[in-house]
Amino acid sequence: MKSLSKISSLLAAAALLFSVSSLAAPDPERFAQTLTPDNAILAMIDHQTGLMVGVRDMNPAQLKNNIQGLSKMAKVLNLPSVVTASYPQGPNGPVMSEISDILTDAIVVNRQGEINAWKSPEFRAAIKKSGRKKIIMAGIVTDVCLMFPAISAVAEGYDVYAVVDASGTWDAVSREAAIHRMTQAGVKVVTWASVLAEIMDDWRSPKGQQLGAVLGEHTAYGYVYQSYMANQK
């Protein structure tokens, strides 16, 4: 009887170990899936004039450039977009004009108290209404306005691409801590140019030339694009 009991205990322990390891193992297919113009939505979170002043982990001009590039990419592809601001009538200020002037068709959600945008029913509803499970997400600041909703969305089954170079925060330590925590939670940490290249997929795609122009305008790839256009002429 003792030996049967011991065997039963070992089997139970093995089953528990298998169950835990199965939960912890990443799904390889999920990480191999790519963005397309039909499966993604853009979420721009709290890129507000007051918060931009506190960004110190990146050159402000470079950050603005990256934000514009990401926004123009979404515009070219007609991606559904959600722009949200935290109490815009307060010290955080309004959304920077570089976003609102480009994403003129975006759904705008002005939150009155929720720090984590994912806790806003209006924001969550706007994402859900799109029917898309891949969220390209950026926010100011990285370790709060981007990190919290990114982790929350992943927990609800969404595939989140956190665009860290179109986000910014107080210092490099805060950025690195946020990247580590998001990675641990299964968020895909990316840059805006890599998102553009992934979603374009092929230079021969219908929007390939327009996306190349965005890349050329906002990165050092501009000289390559100029050379290509000169040869086309």
The whole-angstrom separation of Cα 196 and Cα 49 is 25
Selected catalytic residue, list 145, 146, 193, 199: 145
Strand runs (DSSP E) across 133-177, as ranges? 134-139, 159-163
- Please answer whether residues 144 and 112 qualify as being in contact, where contact means their C-beta atoms are separated by less than 8 angstroms: no
The whole-angstrom separation of Cα 163 and Cα 160 is 9
Q: What letter represents residue 211's amino acid? A: L
Tokens of 226: 């100029």
Residue 145 annotated among the catalytic residues of the structure:
yes
Phi-psi region of 201 (alpha: psi -120 to 50; beta: other; left: phi over 0): left
Q: What is the CA radius of gyration of the chain?
A: 21
Strand runs (DSSP E) across the chain, as ranges? 40-45, 81-86, 107-111, 134-139, 159-163, 188-190
The residues assigned a catalytic role are 145
